[in-house]
Structures are given as structure tokens and as C-alpha cells.
């Protein structure tokens, strides 16, 4: 598609071609619609003394100019269309690369720790083993294959978040970790960009858990007719280099939010040194 400036130029180009075409036709018709017949012109010295180009000659020249301008316009339009197509393909490739990068950022330690926990459950012949394997399988299927589209059903994203949290609970002690996860509102028939919420949830567990200190984790999702409000809060235990690593993941999510939602979303991230909070609102 043409941009605004290109459409403006294309409009005036078409108008100019139309004017040239009309004028050329009028010039070519002139010998037949005005003045005396040819035999009068030949026998009359007044007409024989006239100099300059005839209407037919002017018309032929204008036809040449018309063909040249039209050919040039077609060439330029073709170049514009190819440039636009290349831009669309490049943007699509960039979006795919960013999504692949985000997938790769899903903490590999999460997979390792989860498999260890499942192994421990299997040794004790726990009834939770099969459920844990199923939840891990669903997460990996969603992360690696079900998020190729720009938007996915909100329920899929929330199910992935829920499965992720349930798997994290396998390694958490209820005596040291206070976890509050709630979803409010109707989540049916809503769409959201894939893997927008999960990185924030992963960071909550990655940087907000301590082995020997009390941890507070709060994850709240509120859905109304046209908007999703997402809130996380966790105790800060790992500043320094780990915080920089967290920032890389968040910056990647910000770029995707800017690309998909542009100015239709809001993101507020706070760090008081003791509590880390995220407030995200996106249309659904």
C-alpha cells in the first residue's frame, strides 16, 4: 500500500496525465474542427505564410510525452510497491525473530528444576507426577509451537501462566512463600499477544524467591469487556547482575508491546528496593 505522501504524488501524476491526454486529443482534432479546408489553405498566400507547428504535430508530441510520463509512472509505482512489500516482509521477519528470542529466554533452569521435581515425585510414587508432566508438556507445546500468530486466545496465555505457577509450587515451601494468584472477569472470546504475561511471571519466581527468607508473591489478572489489567508484586532478593538480566527480558517485551499495541497499552514498572511491581494494561 502507498503511504500518504505517495498517494498524494500519485494523485497529481494521474491528473497531469489526464490533462496532457485531453490537450493532445484537442490538438489533433484542431485541423478538422477549425479553419478553412486544405485546398483553401494551399491557394491562399495568407495561410501559406504561416509558420510554426501544426495542431497535428503538437498533438503527436504531446502523445509522446504522455506515453513517456505514463511509462515512467508505471516504473515508479512498481518500485514503490516492491519497496512496500520488502518492508512488510522485513517487519514480519523482525517480529518472528523477536518472538523466537523471547521463547529462548524462557529460563532453561526452569525446565531443569521442573524435571528434577518430577523425578522426585516419581520416586515417591506421588499422584502429582502425571499431572506435573502434563502441565510441563502443555507449557512447552504453547511456547514452541502455538504462538506463531500475532494474537492468541487469552485463555491459552492464562492457562500457560497457570501451569507455570503450578509447576513452580512443586519447589516452593508454603512456610516461606506466600503466593496469591487470582483471575477475575470473563476471559472467553478475548485475544492477546502471545508470551506477553509469562515473562513477567517467570521473573517473579526467578528473582522474588529466597531459600531462607519469607517471600511474598502476588499475581492478579482482571479482565473486563475491552481491557486486561495485569499486576505482579514480589519481594526483591537478587539485585545487581540478575536485575540487569531481568531488564533485558522486560525490554524485549516492551518492544513487542510497542509493535503490536503501539499507544494502546500502558506499562508501569516499579522497584522500591524491597518490592518489585509490574502494572500492565492491554486491550483484549
**SS3 category, 224:** coil
- Residue 188, pLDDT > 70, answer yes
Residue 274 has a pLDDT of 85
| CA angle 198–148–250, rounded 5-degree value | 35
Kindly report the backbone phi and psi dihedral angles of residue 149, in degrees, each rounded to the nearest multiple of 5, phi listed first. -80, 160
What CA–CA distance (Å, rounded) separates 187 from 54?
77
Higher pLDDT, 199 or 94: 199
Cβ atoms < 10 Å from Cβ of 30: 15
What CA–CA distance (Å, rounded) separates 171 from 179?
13
Same domain, 73 and 209: no
Residue 224 has a pLDDT of 93
Same domain, 135 and 84: no
Same domain, 68 and 164: no
235 Ramachandran zone, left/alpha/beta (phi>0; psi -120 to 50): beta
CB neighbour list of residue 178: distance below 8 Å, 6 or more residues apart: 214, 215, 216, 217
In a domain, 35, yes or no: yes
The model carries a pTM of 0.63
**SS3 category, 157:** helix
In a domain, 56, yes or no: yes
Residue 125 has a pLDDT of 82
Higher pLDDT, 171 or 217: 217
Higher pLDDT, 69 or 101: 69
Q: Name residue, grid cell 515508479.
A: 76
Q: Domain of 259: which CATH number?
A: 3.30.565.10
What CA–CA distance (Å, rounded) separates 139 from 107?
12
Residue 189 has a pLDDT of 92
In a domain, 101, yes or no: no
What is the average pLDDT score of the chain?
77
CB neighbour list of residue 189: distance below 8 Å, 6 or more residues apart: none
Portion of the chain with pLDDT greater than 70, in percent: 65
User: How many structural domains are present in the chain?
Assistant: 2
Which of 14-23, 31-40, 162-171, 274-283 has the least mean pLDDT?
31-40
Q: What is the DSSP letter of 176?
A: T
Which of 78-87, 156-165, 238-247 has the least mean pLDDT?
238-247
- Residue 66, pLDDT > 90, answer no
In a domain, 212, yes or no: yes
- Residue 17, pLDDT > 70, answer no
Report the chain's C-alpha Rg in angstroms: 35
Give the domain extent around 24.
4-96
- 87-132 residue pLDDT tens: 777 777 666 666 666 555 555 666 777 788 888 888 888 888 888 8
Amino acid at each position: 500500500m502507498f503511504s500518504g505522501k505517495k498517494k498524494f504524488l500519485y494523485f497529481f501524476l494521474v491528473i497531469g496525465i489526464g490533462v496532457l491526454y485531453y490537450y493532445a486529443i484537442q490538438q489533433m482534432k484542431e485541423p478538422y474542427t477549425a479553419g478553412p479546408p486544405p485546398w483553401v489553405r494551399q491557394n491562399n498566400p495568407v495561410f501559406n505564410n504561416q509558420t510554426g507547428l501544426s495542431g497535428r504535430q503538437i498533438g503527436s508530441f504531446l502523445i509522446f510525452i504522455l506515453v513517456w510520463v505514463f511509462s515512467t509512472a508505471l516504473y515508479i509505482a512498481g518500485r514503490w510497491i516492491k519497496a512496500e512489500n520488502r518492508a512488510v516482509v522485513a517487519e514480519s521477519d523482525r517480529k518472528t525473530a523477536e518472538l523466537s528470542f523471547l521463547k529462548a529466554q524462557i529460563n532453561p533452569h526452569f525446565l531443569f528444576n521442573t524435571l528434577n521435581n518430577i523425578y522426585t515425585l516419581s520416586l515417591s510414587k506421588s499422584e502429582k507426577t502425571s499431572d506435573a508432566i502434563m502441565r510441563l508438556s502443555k507449557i512447552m507445546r504453547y511456547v514452541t509451537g502455538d504462538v506463531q500468530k500475532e494474537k492468541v486466545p487469552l485463555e491459552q496465555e492464562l492457562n500457560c501462566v497457570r501451569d507455570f505457577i503450578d509447576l513452580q509450587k512443586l519447589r516452593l515451601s508454603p512456610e516461606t512463600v506466600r503466593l496469591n494468584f487470582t483471575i477475575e472477569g470473563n476471559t472467553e472470546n478475548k485475544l492477546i499477544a502471545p508470551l506477553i504475561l509469562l515473562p513477567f511471571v517467570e521473573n517473579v519466581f526467578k528473582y522474588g524467591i529466597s531459600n531462607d527468607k519469607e517471600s511474598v508473591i502476588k499475581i492478579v489478572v482482571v479482565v473486563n469487556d475491552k481491557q486486561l489489567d495485569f499486576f505482579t508484586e514480589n519481594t526483591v532478593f537478587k539485585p545487581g547482575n540478575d536485575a540487569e538480566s531481568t531488564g533485558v527480558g522486560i525490554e524485549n517485551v516492551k518492544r513487542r508491546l510497542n509493535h503490536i499495541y503501539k499507544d494502546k497499552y500502558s506499562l508501569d514498572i516499579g522497584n522500591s528496593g524491597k518490592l518489585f511491581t509490574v502494572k500492565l494494561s492491554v486491550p483484549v
